[in-house]
Amino acid sequence: MDLEPEEIATLQTKKMTLALDLNASQQDDIYKINLENAKMRKTQMAERKAKRESSDAAKPTKEERLAMANKMLDHKIEVKAKMKKILNDEQYAKWEKSMAKRQSKMKGKDKKKRDRKKA
């Protein structure tokens, strides 16, 4: 689906509300984080698409990949710190568990994708 960042943030916040039993204040704070993340992802996708369509389709250099990885990890650390402030201990543990599950699921999809390319 081609959703706007606000729509994505709303859906994610509602899903988290159901999973973590968030109160109204927590919902507002988490919506802001989800909105920020959705806008950032939308911008990055647009940049990648523009780069792919232009003649600058060369792979990033080692330094560029390192910079992108550092930026992504810094952002994850920042989000994790914000979540720790917003959620109580039980909610935070549940959120971390769901994020770990989601990440391992994504790694599985990535592995399948690479295997298909080799075949």
Among 8-12, 25-29, 110-114, the minimum mean pLDDT is found in 110-114
Residue 108 structural domain = 5-55+71-118
By the 8 A CB rule, do 82 and 33 touch? Answer: yes
Q: State the average pLDDT over residues 64-92.
A: 94
Q: What share of the chain is helix, strand, coil (3-state, %, to 5)?
A: 85, 0, 15
Within-domain flag for 65: no
30-49 tens-digit pLDDT: 999 999 999 999 998 888 88
By the 8 A CB rule, do 88 and 31 touch? Answer: no
Within-domain flag for 62: no
Residue 8 tokens read as 């994505």
Count of structural domains within the chain = 1
In one letter, which amino acid is 26? Q
Rg (CA), the chain: 17
pLDDT at 50: 84
pLDDT of 59 above 90: no
Query: Average pLDDT over the chain, rounded to whole?
Result: 89
pTM of the model: 0.80
d(CA 55, CA 76): 31
Within-domain flag for 15: yes
Instruction: Work out the percent of the chain whose per-residue pLDDT is above 70.
Output: 88
Within-domain flag for 66: no
d(CA 16, CA 27): 8
pLDDT at 93: 95
